Chains A and B, each alone.
Chain A
Amino acid sequence: MPNIKSGRRLVSLVICSILVFAANSMAAQPKGKLTTSDKKVIDFLVNDWGKDYSVTSVDIAMDAVGVKQSEETRFRIGSYIKAHPELHEVIRRWGWVTLVLTPDEKLIARVLINAEREGKPNPSVSEIAKAVGTGEGQTNSGLAMLERYEILKRDNAAGGPSYTVVPRYLKWEPRLDFLFHTVTLERGRRFNTN
């Protein structure tokens, strides 16, 4: 009997070890690792940038190659572009911010930046939503994305969260920053230009 008990203990120990090993292996995987479809989006962009003054953004490229829109995917690809300016001259010339944000996110950033530049109080989420013409849910998603990219900082104030702009973006080319010009041709091609 002692042999059976110790055998069971050994089996349990082996199973536990396998589970711990599997959990550690999953945790060790890099979170920002590009998937095959992410790489397709990057390849599309690198090939598209510069043609017809193109500064096409990640969201448009995802549509072009048939990748389902998702904030996680867009953030993963955008973070890669942010970390790899050597990919293309367009990233170095126009900046990663121009390429990774959606038009709504750029407008949300601009509401906060303009308020801070003009010395006005930080607008609330509902004020931002009204100014940009987005619903509050969409505005919150945009604010969260801008926070993830460290363009905004969130303050958990008593009256609800408020956001401030990271100083470097306040000094970043007033009136020329966070712009978008989306061109759609009837034959189907869609791109951003500057």
Chain B
Amino acid sequence: MLLVSGKLANEKITIDDSSPEGTARIHVEFDKGKLVKADPDSTILFMGGG
């Protein structure tokens, strides 16, 4: 998230991830630092960097 809000703040970015608690896949998309899509809807996002 530091990258999304910092060095890559002017980019369109997708992140494919997973829940550390289980095996659920997480897909999030950002455009210029702003969240535009999160799948699943229950994804909780902690944006670092203030």
Complex partner residue of A182 from B7, B12, B16, CB under 8 angstroms: B16
Q: Of the candidates A132, A175, A183, A185, which one forms a contact with B23 in the assembled complex, judged by CB atoms under 8 Å apart? A: A132
Given the known interface contacts A52-B3, A193-B3, the answer about A182 and B15 at a Cβ–Cβ threshold of 8 Å is: yes
Interface size of A by Cβ–Cβ distance < 8 Å? Answer: 23
B1 to chain A, nearest CB (A): 10
Does more than half of chain A's interface fall in helix, strand or loop, or is it mixed? Answer: mixed
Contacts of A53 in B (CB 8 A): 3
Asked if A187 is at the interface of the complex by the 8 Å CB criterion, the answer is yes
Nearest 10 pairs between A and B by C-beta? A186-B12, A182-B16, A184-B14, A175-B20, A107-B23, A131-B23, A181-B17, A185-B11, A132-B23, A183-B15
Interface residues of A (CB under 8 A from B): 52-53, 103, 106-107, 110-111, 114, 131-133, 175-176, 179-187, 193
